[in-house]
Amino acid sequence: MGKAKIDAAFSKVLNQGDKAFVPYIMAGDGGLENLKEQILFLEEHGATVVELGIPFSDPVADGPVIQEAGIRSLASGTTLEAILTSLEGWKDTREIPIVLMTYINLIYSFGIEKFAERCKEVGVDGLIIPDLPLEEEELVTPALGKSGIALIRLVSPTSPPHRIEQIAKRSEGFLYAVTVKGTTGIRSEYEEGIEAYLQGLKGYAKVPVLAGFGVSSPEQVRTMSEYCDGVIVGSKIVDSLHQEDRETITALIAASKKSTAHLT
């Protein structure tokens, strides 16, 4: 469980010559009763880890598609405790690691120690907290360490080199490499120098480096994966689930696989 489960999932994928694929979904979008089916669908089709968004009223990293999904989820009555209870109910029937993406306010309100213990109980393996800066991590790291929960750090191309190195070396599970300036969303092109940026991160990080923000097509999955260990896809997955378009999702995941990449 926890960090070890994430490490094992990445090792398995990378050792067989594939690239990692981490889909982001918004918990409760379309109804919390559908969460189990959504996650098992992603597991069945070859996702490495699922990044599960917790709806929040004041997101700072989310673009329009994910913001709208969060609003739909909150409107349907989704709460953090309800999400955790849902995950607990079928933790023994899934193998795929679960990483929660949430904001520090929700964790603080829940109770940091209580939250870490609850994550361990329900089978959560890692956390992404985009509004928790490096300097404030001591708020959560003791509790997460005690529960074996990985703290996955985000690094941005706008950060100075010494800070990029610090963050990269401290990340657990995987390093979330933001590839664009701005929020999440679908984009047609990337910043200049992205290849050098991602390869530089691989020189610092002790864990796999994954590119996120703006990856939305099989071609982009393949291109970005050339420079790092895999990709994170959010807005396109969220929108495809909302539109009940499962074929788009399976094509995105397939593009990360050596054996099927040429088919997409």
- Please tell me the distance from the alpha carbon of residue 173 to that of residue 48, in angstroms, as a whole number: 12
Spell out the residues 6+ positions from residue 146 whose beta carbon is closer than 8 angstroms to its own.
Answer: 116
Tell me, what DSSP letter sits at residue 70? H
51 annotated active-site: yes
Which residue positions in the chain have pLDDT lower than 70?
Answer: 181-192, 259-264
Closest CA to 218 of 252, 184, 257, 175: 252
For domain 3-259, the CATH architecture is Alpha-Beta Barrel (3.20)
**Which helix (H) or strand (E) covers residue 101, if one does?**
strand 98-101
pLDDT confidence of residue 183: 46
**Which helix (H) or strand (E) covers residue 66, if one does?**
helix 64-75
CA separation, residue 118 to residues 123, 204, 263 (Å): 9, 32, 42
pTM: 0.93
What amino acid occupies position 40? L
pLDDT confidence of residue 213: 87
pLDDT confidence of residue 12: 97
Q: Which of these is catalytic: 51, 125, 172, 229?
A: 51
Residue 154: alpha-carbon gap to chain centroid: 10
Q: What share of the chain is helix, strand, coil (3-state, %, to 5)?
A: 50, 15, 35
Q: Domain residues of the chain, as ranges?
A: 3-259
Q: Which of these is catalytic: 18, 62, 172, 229?
A: 62
pLDDT confidence of residue 180: 74
How many helices, marked H, and strands, marked E, lie in the chain? 12, 9
- Please tell me the distance from the alpha carbon of residue 94 to that of residue 76, in angstroms, as a whole number: 25
What amino acid occupies position 28? G
Radius of gyration of the chain (CA): 17
Tell me, what DSSP letter sits at residue 261? G
Q: What are phi and psi of 110, to 5 degrees?
A: -70, -35
